[in-house]
Amino acid sequence: MFSKLGQLVVAHPWRVIGIWLVALLLVVLFAPRLSEVTNTDQTSFLPDSYESVKAQKLAERFFPNGGGTSALFVVQRRDDGRLSSSDRRTVASFARLLAGGGIGRVTAVTASPREFAPNGKLQLVRVSLQGTSEDEPVKAAVRELRERAGRLLAGTGLSAGLTGDAAIQFDTEESFATAERVVGAASAVLILLLLSLVFRSGIATVVPLASIALVFLLSTGLLALTAKTFDFDVGPELQTMLIVVLFGIGTDYILFLLFRYRERLRAGEEPKRAIAFAVARVGEAIASSGAVVIAAFLALAFSEFGSSRSMAPGFVIAILVMLLAALTLVPALLALAGPGVFWPSRHWREAPRQRIFPRLGRKVARRPARTALAAAALLLALGVGAFFYRADYDPVGQLPGGTEAGQAFDVLKTAFPVGALNPTEIYVAGEKQLDEKRLRMLQARLVQIDGVADVALPVLGKQGQAARIVLQLEERPYSEAALDLVAGPIRAAAHAWARPGETALVGGQTSAFADIRAATSRDFGVVFPVAALAIALILGLVLRSLVGTAYLLAAAAVGFAATLGATVALFQGLAGEAGLTFNLPMLVYLFVVAVGTDYNILVTSRLREEIREGNAPRPAAALAVEHAGPTVAAAGVILAGTFASLTLTGVGLLAQIGFAIAIGIVLVAFVMATVLTPSVAALLGRKIWWPGHQDRPERAGPRDRKPAAVPGEVPPEARPK
């Protein structure tokens, strides 16, 4: 199949390129932008069955002016002194002016004496906004509130920083927009430099970058169109991740092709035949790798948490389009460029005098047990750290240090219970008018719960059939302790209080993240085994070997544990952070297991090819390392480098993801694929191919067999001398 595909592409390169350009033009003209279907509010991705979502709907029904999102001004003196009586009057006037300022979606602005700091240095000003934090009018209101605060307090000696749910979401979106630009530029520069070092050719660097840029525009347009058609949102991290994935994986696929094309040119093959041969030989490895990645990400469709589930179509579309481009668009471009793709370098004509991989291959062949043990010991030692993993659900902690929301929260913590940032809200509704005496009994029960700092008086809603009770926690609103408190004693107290015909639900951001934690834990138990099963099926079809498939799955699990352990050691150990972002294990698992399997497939495919040519298992392992090692190394460095660019964004979530996947790719490429896999293959010998017997020698090896003629090309033997 891939042989015919290669021949077809090199015979009609202009038609292939034309089809891609027309597809891009149609998508650019008619597809919506990805930003139109992006949602920065993680809590909005929860299913309706979760309590925090039910509580929000109850709030919107009975408290339409207070059931939306909120923001919080933290007002202090610029000299860090105590607020005087005059200062407090200025703050009260500030709140009144904002409330009556006609700012869209602002329903109330209050400066309650209850929220004056005990140390006299801070006053909180609460802002209620109609709508959710991802609504464009709410974002505009946050921007207007900050601008007016600066004008109203100018010359007063006071400053006001806006934090809270709406401000955090606003700053998160701004941070991700900045991160997208940083990652895009860093990835392009990195790939440009690395490809220049590998090929010493400007054209060989432009072809991958141009192809990937086209694929990015096409795939994001298709994703936005799919999201609009099927009415779902995607998370803010997806677009940044797509840049990294396409630059990294796309460059890998193109490298596989370029290395094999160059190898055939060095063997004296005609250019078009060399391209067709490269597609025929590498096409199976690229297609197999792409299928593994797609199968793994399809497992995300089984997620209950919408943010994770929405990643499935994004990654699947991007990888599928990149896979098709690597097998059609790139060979078509190479067919037009010919050997000139490596211009001005002349080094492509001769194999470089490399020593590392031939020496490593010989060592693996001579001492496979020793090299396998060394590689496995390193991975297992790093994997110990995975047992110390702690999940972090704090969106404030993920913000860059310079954001206003983060700075204002740091100031708030100096004088108030940290739960003041996002109070927990209990909504009660009944079929008839509620008994205020019983509501105060619920308030009294809540006050007695350890970890609750303060409980406000119940506020009745429409016709007395609903009530809202606001409480503050002593813990950070997104900490594990706060999530345990809300999901446990607080919900239990509210549910136990309610009589038949009454409903008591716990809402607010802490309750929402408690539900996110529950959904994520559920997803770990579903997505992990589904992804493993999908990968196992693909590997089984590719290798036709139970032993080889079992080994690669076991190696992938060890690689995942080593990656997570190394990340825990850096961020929780050396950096002293409270934990790792809650969805990091999911992303590490999918990327390191699925993407890292690419390199194992490439090495295994080359190993099988060498064995089919008549080599014994150990010499075949040495040759596989010698020939596939440089490709895996170059691809691994580029892929790890593109993910490492995420650490430049300043966004905690992206920095952790970037480091984790980068170190995982390094471990898979340099420890597992080039050392452990060929070592195990050398040890097991022909048993690794049981029961499919993919080690049977071919009648004529690829080095002895003449490649199929390319349509329209005159064979060398028929050309005039």
The model's pLDDT over 211-242, given as tens digits with 9 standing for 90+, comes to: 888 998 999 889 889 888 888 777 766 777 78
Residue 172 has pLDDT above 50, yes or no: yes
Asked if pLDDT for residue 61 goes beyond 60, the answer is: yes
Are 116 and 152 within 8 A, CB to CB?
no
- Other CB atoms within a 10 A radius of the CB of residue 541 amount to 11
Q: Which pLDDT score is estimated for 658?
A: 87
Residue 106 DSSP one-character state: E
Q: Name the band, by pLDDT with cuts 50, 70 and 90, for residue 393.
A: confident
Neighbours of 287 (CB within 10 A): 20
Q: Is the pLDDT of residue 16 over 70?
A: yes
Q: What is the pLDDT of residue 57?
A: 87
- Dist. CA 254–CA 208, nearest whole Å: 7
List 562's β-bridge partners, or say none: none
> Which one is predicted more confidently, 686 or 350?
686
Mean model confidence pLDDT for the chain = 85
Torsional sign, CA 539, 541, 545, 546: positive
**Structural domains of the chain, with CATH:** 1-30+200-353 (1.20.1640.10), 68-170 (3.30.70.1430), 356-386+531-698 (1.20.1640.10), 409-514 (3.30.70.100)
pLDDT digits (tens, 9 = 90+) for 522-565: 988 898 899 888 888 888 887 888 888 888 888 888 999 999 99
Sheet with 106-110, edge to edge strand ranges: 106-110, 122-129, 69-77, 158-163
At residue 721, the pLDDT reads 39
CA distances 494 to 29, 423, 445, 459, 499, Å, are: 53, 16, 9, 16, 10
Strand-pair partners of 127: 71, 109
Angle at 69 between CA 66 and CA 72, to 5 degrees: 95
How far is 371 from 226, CA to CA, in rounded Å? 48
Residue 303 and residue 309 in contact, taking contact as beta carbons nearer than 8 Å: yes
Q: What percent of the chain has pLDDT over 70?
A: 92
Q: Which of 158-167, 339-348, 525-534, 689-698 shows the lowest mean pLDDT across its residues?
A: 689-698
Q: What is the mean pLDDT of residues 334-355?
A: 74
Is a pLDDT exceeding 50 seen at residue 707? no
Predicted confidence at residue 42, as pLDDT, reads: 59
Of 204-208, 273-277, 657-661, 702-706, which gets the smallest average pLDDT? 702-706
Query: Which pLDDT value is given to residue 561?
Result: 93
Question: If pLDDT is split at 50, 70 and 90, which confidence band does 373 have?
Answer: very high
What's the token pair of residue 630? 């440089």
Q: Where are the alpha helices (DSSP H) in 200-337?
A: 202-230, 237-266, 271-298, 306-309, 311-324, 330-337
- Give the whole-number percent of the chain exceeding pLDDT 90: 33
* Mean pLDDT within 629-655: 81
pLDDT higher than 70, residue 149? yes
User: Does residue 712 register a pLDDT over 70?
Assistant: no
What pLDDT shows up at residue 387? 94
Q: What is the pLDDT of residue 711?
A: 38
Report residue 14's pLDDT band, with 50, 70 and 90 as the boundaries: very high
Rounded-to-integer distance, Cα 51 and Cα 82, Å? 41
Exposure string over 66-80, b if 16+ CB within 10 A, otherwise e: bbbbbbbbbbbbeee
Nearest to 534 by CA among 589, 485, 480: 589
- Helix (H) or strand (E) segment spanning residue 497: helix 491-497
Q: How confident is the model at residue 696 (pLDDT cuts 50, 70, 90)?
A: low
577 touches 396 (CB < 8 A): no
Judge contact between 530 and 302, C-beta under 8 A. yes
Contacts of 33 (CB under 8 A, 6+ apart): 224
CA distances to 373, 555, 672 from 560, rounded to whole Å, are 18, 9, 12
Looking up tokens 């602002």 gives 106
CB 356 within 8 A of CB 369: no
Position 716 scores a pLDDT of: 41
Q: Is 71 helix (H, G, I), strand (E, B) or coil?
A: strand
DSSP state of 32: P
Statement: residue 490 has pLDDT above 70: yes
Lowest model confidence (mean pLDDT) among 282-286, 494-498, 529-533: 282-286
Question: At residue 107, does pLDDT exceed 80?
Answer: yes
Question: Minimal CA–CA distance to 682: which of 633, 599, 622?
Answer: 622
- Looking at residue 566, its pLDDT comes to 95
